[in-house]
Each structure stands twice: as C-alpha cells, then as structure tokens.
Structure 1
Amino acid sequence: MSGACKGDEVITSKDKGTVMPTKLTIPDLAAKKAAGERLALLAVGEVLTARWAERAGIDIVGVGDSIGMTLYGHENTLSMSMDQMINHTRAVRTGAPNTMCVVSMPYGSYATREMAVINALRLMKESGCDAVKMQGGREKFDIIKAIADAGVPVMSQVGLVPHMVHKFGGFKMQGRTAEAAMEIVDNARAIEEAGAVGIEVEAMPYEVGKAVDESVSIFTAAIGAGSACTAQILNGYDVLGAFDTFKPKFAKRYANMSEIAVKAFAEFREDVVSGSFPDADHSYQMKPEEAQRLADMLREEKP
C-alpha cells in the first residue's frame, strides 16, 4: 500500500524490516474524505490480528466492543467493561503501533456527560488509542460535545446502534423508510454539529448511507451501509473466517480460518494419541555423554 493511503512519510518497521506508511492523524480523516480517497478499517481485538492488519497496510484498526461476541462468546456487546476495552486496546496498540486506532466506549460508560468525559479521557490515557467512539445521534449531542470539548477526538454511530439492540428487537437493518432515513441523516448532522471527527454508519440501504455521507463534511465509515462512505469497515474475525457462529449479510469472508484451525487441532490430537508427536525433531536431547552419566547416576541410586 502506498504512502498516499496513510500519511505522506514512510517509516521502516522493526518487524522484518518492511517499510510502511506513517499512521493517519485526525486531520487526515477529513482530508481523505474531501479528496474522495477510500480507506480500510478493520475491527480487531488482540495482538496477532492487529499485527497482521498492520503488515497488510490496513489504514485504521478499531477495537470495538463486538469482541464481546467474537472473543468472549456473548450474545451481544453490552457486557464489555472499560478495563476490558483498555486491555484489549493495549494489545492491539502493541501489534499495530503505526496504524491509527479507534476504540469503542463500552455500554454504560457514557450515560452522563461527566461519566463520558472521565471515561473518554481514561481510554485515551491508558489504552494508547487515537480516538474514541460512542453510539447515538441527536439524543447524545451534549455528551458528544462534552467529550469533544475535553479535547478527545470522538466519533459516534448511526443506523444500527448495537447498544440499543433491545430497543430495536435485535440486530436489524435500519432506514427502511424515507422517514426513518431522514432521522438517521438528522442524527449524523447532529454528531457533526457536536464536534465529532467521524461517524460510523451501520446496517442500512445504500441510498441512506450515501445520504448520510453527503450530509456531513466529517469522516464517515460504513459497515453494511453501501460504498459511499470514506472508509469501509469489516470485523477482522469475519474477514478471516475465524468467527463462524453467524455471518452478517454485509460480511465478506476472505479466508476460512476456523476450518483450518479445527483441522490443525484434530491432526495434533491424532499425532499425540498415535505417539508420533513429539518426535526427535520436536524434542530436546542431552549430549550422549551426559545422558550416559544421568543413567549411571539413576542406576546408582537404586538400592
């Protein structure tokens, strides 16, 4: 991936000596949108996938509370805590130190302005992220503004808002009618007015995602919302085919890691049961003379 996709300068990575672009900055996001450039945003949750994402040239990594589902096996995202999000983001930051990182504020962490500011500042200080993301539109205007006024780069989300999954009756597409679409557009405008630097646009018809993107000047990132936005988001565990509990309509699997993993684990078990693992190539051995000395010592110990 060329430097134009991220920053203008390049650095040499300590990882295998590869050369990669410097990470995006917050001002870059609006500039990329204005220039009509497209970016790739991948949701990851630990050091390995973060490292792979950076090696692949992914523009932005997001640590979403969707890891509650992909890594913890919960039925939704609501149970994730601040401590968990901080710890996972630290791991991602370790794996992808040269990639912009946006972390989700977990459910309940921005219920009031005061709470939101404290938790947003804590995420920035303790996790190493570059921006935080909450959820909600006009109804969260004061909270978004409070975080922005505190000097924290903040994004928010419209459309399918997972923190309101119970209100929606499940993970369902939004913006089915013109009236519903206009409400989503209004929420996006409110997010920009409040001082946010970006908007996540999730699970809506292409026409609605396009209307959202054209209604704001700030960065937009779509997941299941068509191709109009500046960035496209997919969950890294969907991309890898590692998360196979279910597959959202908008998710595209580029690999089948779960099948590969199950096959590898099964072969490992077969080798253990048959006694073919570990073999000499996968075992440590003493020098022959030391092995003989050990055998002599053990023999001498016997009564």
Structure 2
Amino acid sequence: MKRTIQALQAKKKIEKITAITAYDALFSSLFDNKIDMILVGDSLNMSFSGKEDTLSIGIDEMIYHTKAVCRGVKESFIVTDMPFGSYQNSKMAIKNANKIYKNTSADAIKIEGDIRRAEIISNIANEGIAVVAHIGLMPQFARSEGGYKIKGKTTEEGKRLIDCAVELEKAGACMIVLEGMYSNIATTITQALQIPTIGIGSGVNCDGQILVWSDMFGFFQKFKPKFVRKYLDGSTLIQNSLEQYVKDVKSGNFPSIEESYQG
C-alpha cells in the first residue's frame, strides 16, 4: 500500500519513520516497501555526479532523477529536493514546485531554510503541494557559511532553531528534517511539534532517521560523517568482485559453456 503523508504523520510517538536517499529506478526498487520514505536528494550532485557540493544541480536534473526513482517505487513516500536557486521567492518556488509535481509522481518537495522560508512554504502548501522543511545544518548554505557547521551549540542558536521549527510547522510544513544539530535541541523540537521530525546527525529522539544510501552502504569514500553508520562495505565488495571478473575474463574462465549459447 502506498505510504501517504497522513500515514507518516500518524507514526509520530508510535513508530519511528525510516528514510533513505535514492537517485535511480534500480536502487529505489530495492528500497521500496522496506523503507517508509525515499528522498531524491540534491546530495546526488556529490555522491552520484562527483561534485564538491550540492549547489550546481538544477531543477531539470532533479526532475530527471525523480522520474527514475518514481518508476522503481510502488509503496514508499517520495520526497524531492528543491535545488539551490529554485525557490528564491514565492513566485519562483511555486513555479518550480508545480513543475516537479506535474512532471513526476513525487509526494512532496523539500526546502532548506530558516524562518525566512515560512512564507514560501505557506504559499507552496496552499497550492496543494506537500512541503518538507529542512533546518539546522543545510548543505545548500555550506559555501556561504564556510563549511558544514553543526548547529545549536549556543543557547541563543538553539532557541532560534526551536522557534524556526515551530513557525515552519505553522506555515504548513508536513514534516521537518533536522540535520547536524545538538541532540538536545532536536529532542526539544520533536516534542514541540505535531508533525514528524526526520533526523540526520541530530540524535536518536527524532521521529525518524535518514541517511544517504552511498554513505550507509560504504560506497562513498571521500569522507565519513560522524553520524553515519556503515551497514555494508560496498566499495570493497565491488572492487573485489571486479578483480575476480577481470581474472576470469583474462584466464578464459568466463564465460563457461553453461554461460554460452550452443549451436
């Protein structure tokens, strides 16, 4: 059965929400049904395209990958990132959110930003488009902030995050991603909101958790964030298998008679 936003919201305080990223039909079909929510994250610009940050990906690329993910999914809830520069004002945001909704089967879009995004979130939600907010460490702001900075270190910053989350819920956000913040702040936010919180690097008390698939399965090798638990050494497994394939081809062991068509 297809997950809906109402079904995910109903899990709050009852059952943790599981979420993962995906960028194509193959992996999304493997994740489907086993995971509650799939995010077509602009993180694909780094883990899929080899870029240094998320900033250069465009709306058309996000739509392309979202279409692919949607083709592989029958049950999981699908969220698509609004890329950097695609929601600078309400008019632009509504236009691009509508473009995603019309051209894909995404269930919601996600927007990074603080309390200043409240009006944009409200206007998109009023168009009948579900909006997931994203606060705390925001990758789209990493360049302007001089890197990936953990949030909530001071009492003042923690209060701003809490106030921001409350206002974004009032604006119409259906869920909120809490990234890279002190866990006590994430706990307070989770307790203060009626909508689910999805944590990434924000402690265990969020209503759910999300990881980038290539991080958790050990394929992305440039660095490993503190909050990532590696569930598979994917890079080593692939490399070992590839070495065996090369040996089999060069030795004539592959293909065998059983793997060949006989006349």
Aligned partners of 2:8 and 2:17 also within 8 Å: no
Q: Determine which of 172, 175, 182 is the counterpart of 2:159.
A: 182
Query: Counterpart of 1:103?
Result: 80
Query: Counterpart of 1:39?
Result: 17
Q: How far apart, in 2, do the equivalents of 1:182 and 1:29 lie?
A: 27
Aligned partners of 1:23 and 1:59 also within 8 Å: no
Query: Counterpart of 2:46?
Result: 69
Letter in 1 for 2:18: A
Query: Counterpart of 1:247?
Result: 224
> How many residues end up aligned between the 2 structures?
263
Structure 2 residue 253 is matched with structure 1 residue 276: yes
Which stretches in structure 2 are left out of the alignment for 5+ residues?
none
Q: How far apart, in 2, do the equivalents of 1:59 and 1:111 lie?
A: 30
Deviations 1:159-201 (A, max 9, x none): 0011100122111211111111111111111211211111100
1:108-257 to 2 correspondence within 5 Å? 108-257=85-234
Distance apart, 1:282 and its partner CA:
2.2
Q: How far apart, in 2, do the equivalents of 1:68 and 1:248 lie?
A: 17
Query: Counterpart of 1:266?
Result: 243
Q: How far apart, in 2, do the equivalents of 1:59 and 1:29 lie?
A: 8
Query: Counterpart of 2:6?
Result: 27
Q: How far apart, in 1, do the equivalents of 2:7 and 2:254 lie?
A: 52
> SS of 2:241's equivalent?
helix
Q: How far apart, in 2, do the equivalents of 1:147 and 1:140 lie?
A: 11
Letter in 1 for 2:110: K
Q: Which has the higher helix share?
A: 1
State the identity as a percent.
Answer: 37
Aligned partners of 1:120 and 1:132 also within 8 Å: yes
Q: How far apart, in 1, do the equivalents of 2:187 and 2:146 lie?
A: 25
Q: How far apart, in 2, do the equivalents of 1:101 and 1:122 lie?
A: 16
Distance apart, 1:215 and its partner CA:
2.1
Query: Counterpart of 2:57?
Result: 80
Q: How far apart, in 2, do the equivalents of 1:177 and 1:219 lie?
A: 24
> Bigger radius of gyration, 1 or 2?
1
